[in-house]
Amino acid sequence: MIKEGITGQAEALVTDENTAACVGSGTLPVFATPAMVSLVEKAAWTSVAPELSNGESTVGTAMTLSHVSATPLGMKVTARTRLTAIDRRKLTFSWEAYDETGLIGEGTHERFIVNDQKFIEKAEGKKK
């Protein structure tokens, strides 16, 4: 059962592949904002996944963020999430991201619980 207070965590090493220069969000060899978003999403979805019914997943629908400090190549980044609100199928998380020297980002993230089959069928229906 999903309850407020569930926490999640995900980590990544800053490599060429997740820099702003590589993902197209800038020109510098530092941890990209889109990579931070992805890490936050991973921390959030993996934190609630064990509590879902078979055939259910969560999908990200909203993100607010402040990316307050750059992280260079070779440093570890850790994203931490906390489930702060549940409104039927909508889950709201607060989050923070850190590198080895301190806070690099923070914000909120929303996810919705979906039925996998119905979600994919609806997405595939766009092809018709």
Amino acid in the structure at residue 50: P
Close Cβ partners of 18 (under 8 Å, ≥ 6 residues apart): 12, 31, 32, 35
Instruction: Please give the positions annotated as active site.
Output: 33, 41, 67
Pair 45, 51: CB distance under 8 Å: no
Tell the burial category of 82 from Cβ atoms under 10 Å away from its Cβ (0-12, 13-18, 19+). Answer: middle
Among 15, 31, 40, which residue's Cα sits nearest to residue 68? 31
C-alpha–C-alpha distance, residues 55 and 96, integer Å: 29
